[in-house]
Structure 1
Amino acid sequence: MNHPRPFSPELSQKIESFKSHAKPIKLGRIDFDNKLILAPMAGICNIPFRVLMEDLGAGGTVSELISCHGINYGNARTLDMLKIHPRERNVGIQLFGEDADSMAKAAEVAESYGPKFLDINMGCPVTKVVSKGGGSAMMKEVQKLAPLFEKMRSRMKVPLSIKIRTGWDANSLNAKEIINIAHNSGIEWVAIHGRTRTQQYTGLANWEFIEALNEDKKIPLIGNGDLHHPYGVSERLQKTGCDALMIARGALRNPFIFLESLDPTYASQKRSVFSGADYWEVIQRLHHYCSESFDEERTVLVQLRKLVVWFAAGFPHAAAMRGQIFATQTVDECMKIAEDYFLSLGGSQKFINYDEVFMSSGHG
């Protein structure tokens, strides 16, 4: 694979300045570059986005959820989702399913692709996953968890982690029980999203509940939920009892969120040093990763369009640019519009209304 064009000296200097605040951490047997990890997001956390986020300060990443049944059936598209880029250092593959034998068999296949760890999705609230017993439905049948964990671990050499929610609903907040089962079953760490399944992505993440779990924990915990802006992430990093944090939707509107969150002095200023020209460099690198990862131009175009539009959120005239981007039919058209737009911004500052609902149907 070809190396991407280096960032400009100006952008490289900014990136390295923020990265100087990062401190490597260890969760169980797993090493990460810092405490901020890219959360798994369906349809988003593919190779191009994961590699880009590592370039921009993510301490580690997790793939989008991948069906154990698709793996076991040998589905070509599913197997493609298991691939890992040579530049990825701290990546895990997330599997979903409901059957211990199927999950264990798929884990063996997934491990052969070279991830640093495997993760079980026990938090997805989407009906098509839950209705078959996967995702957050796994939290309803805790008696099945230890056998499933142990069967998977018997077929694996790399560490195994899980991602859960606080519970199925407000009357069954059983995350603590599941964390204890995970600890006794040799799980390396648990990531917890601060909502129940019935909440989906509405309301606010319950960080008081998450922090209470840290008081007598026996296993590393990673907190997740509503980490949308650098000053919020930085503040949470300073105050949380969690061993690390997972950022999801926040990275879609601000690709520099990992970097900006690492420096508490900077993050408290609530303004970005990254210009439209910096965003354009990031989009060029994303284009490089998409082009080498996907064979069809249409796939590259779809990936670029949605991310370019999200990255523009909060900049002046983003709505007009969004209409132009979604009307494009070729990658060259898309890149030309993005170049003209981001380079025209000059010193314009980004302003995002974090009170607005963003992607309420999914993604951390």
Structure 2
Amino acid sequence: MKLKIGNVTLENNLILAPMAGVTDLPFRILCKEQGCGMVVTEMVSAKAILYKNRNTKALLEVEERERPVSVQLFGSDPEIMADIAKLIEPGPFDIIDVNMGCPVPKIVNNGEGSAMMKNPKLAEAVLGAMVKAVKKPVTVKFRKGFTDSDVNAVEFARMAESCGVAAVAVHGRTREQYYSGTADWDIIRRVKEAVKIPVIGNGDVFAPEDAKALLDETGCDGIMIARGAKGNPWIFSRTLHYLETGELLPSPTMEELQNMVLRHAKMLVEYKGEYLGIREMRKHMAWYTAGLPHSAKLRNDINAVETLADLETLVMERFAGHFR
């Protein structure tokens, strides 16, 4: 189950997808501890690094214990992307990834993210310049296509391979779909058949069984887990166990869930300060408890909590009574 990307060898082929507002340092560490083979940072604007935007420093912060780490850049200017890749290359990043799949309007309207799929020549210039500029492996993440009438993932993957990109990650949805409907795993299979570099499949992996099905149906080399990891770092340990043994481990117990929530909250406060850390924990709490009985009131009450001490008290009380 090891996966080699350029000169970087991962212990296994499970990868935490980059997610804005989710895959910060504390969450990456929690997923790494659960056996994730590689984590990816939140996407970082190359122009923001160039202009020394103060918010980028935190996005680029990495700890040794979470490695191997892939840092994800986005941008559309070949020279800037190459220069920034070279600038950050000495940092604690093992791989430099390029986002050509983000569907968010403000990114797309700027000609970046998944908009790059509409301009393969520019995408080629960006990837080619970056590969030439750095020695570390460069990878790229993109979608099935921009619209259903313009599905070009196979051609895009071949172009990336010809630029010297070390691996591609393919999300089986178009930009038009965002995250709706179902991911088209067949396009991942077709990309895998079209290129020799590793292909990482992404889309609709919410359980260990999904990961195995994705591997079986597409022949992809790696699995990138995004929304399936929200509030569920255990998806990595449970999936690894399932792929290795065929045995499906039980979902985490209420005690394990409580301990993870408390640890996550503490790490967020240590990393971002109490004010921001507690506020960010609110959305994570919604993900951790989604679908559980009597969880709506807990999520509502967490939104009124201001301090770590109060959050800890509320969690201990409510988990003991299973949220009642």
Deviation at 1:275, TM superposition (A): 0.5
8 Å contact from structure 1 (residues 280, 343) kept in 2: no
Deviation at 1:286, TM superposition (A): 1.7
Deviation at 1:312, TM superposition (A): 1.2
Write the distance in 2 (CA, Å) between the matches of 1:57 and 1:94: 21
Alignment of 1:76-87 (within 5 A): 76-87=54-65
The superposition leaves residues 222-272 of structure 1 with CA deviations (integer Å, 9 ceiling, x where unpaired) of: 000111122222333344300001000111142211111123389977772
Report which stretch shifted further, 251-260 or 236-245: 236-245
Write the distance in 2 (CA, Å) between the matches of 1:318 and 1:240: 37
2:306 alignment partner, one of 306, 310, 329:
329
8 Å contact from structure 2 (residues 14, 224) kept in 1: yes
Structure 2 match to 1:31? 9
Report which stretch shifted further, 285-294 or 130-139: 285-294
The superposition leaves residues 32-78 of structure 1 with CA deviations (integer Å, 9 ceiling, x where unpaired) of: 12111000001111101111100112111111111111100011111
Is the partner of 1:289 in helix, strand or coil? helix
Give the TM-score, by structure 2 length.
Answer: 0.93
Deviation at 1:183, TM superposition (A): 0.9
Report which stretch shifted further, 38-47 or 268-277: 268-277
Pick closer, same or farther for the CA change 1:316–1:106 going to 2, 3 Å. Answer: same
Aligned-residue CA RMSD (Å): 2.0
Counterpart amino acid of 2:235?
I
The superposition leaves residues 118-170 of structure 1 with CA deviations (integer Å, 9 ceiling, x where unpaired) of: 10000001110011110001111111222211221232221100000011111
Report which stretch shifted further, 251-260 or 114-123: 251-260
Is the partner of 1:76 in helix, strand or coil? coil
Aligned residue pairs, count: 323
Is the partner of 1:245 in helix, strand or coil? strand
Give the TM-score, by structure 1 length.
Answer: 0.83
8 Å contact from structure 1 (residues 130, 137) kept in 2: yes
Q: Does 2:125 match 1:147?
A: yes
Q: Does 2:172 match 1:175?
A: no
Is the partner of 2:139 in helix, strand or coil? strand
Q: Report 1 or 2 for greater relative contact order, CA contacts < 8 Å, sequence distance ≥ 6.
A: 1
Pick closer, same or farther for the CA change 1:194–1:167 going to 2, 3 Å. Answer: same
Structure 2 match to 1:10? none
8 Å contact from structure 1 (residues 231, 267) kept in 2: no
Is the partner of 1:257 in helix, strand or coil? helix
Write the distance in 1 (CA, Å) between the matches of 2:135 and 2:319: 45
Write the distance in 1 (CA, Å) between the matches of 2:206 and 2:125: 36
Write the distance in 1 (CA, Å) between the matches of 2:211 and 2:245: 9
Identity of aligned residues (%): 37
Alignment of 1:178-189 (within 5 A): 178-189=156-167
Is the partner of 1:186 in helix, strand or coil? coil
Report which stretch shifted further, 132-141 or 276-285: 276-285
Write the distance in 2 (CA, Å) between the matches of 1:114 and 1:26: 18
Counterpart amino acid of 1:320?
K
Gaps of 5+ in 2: none
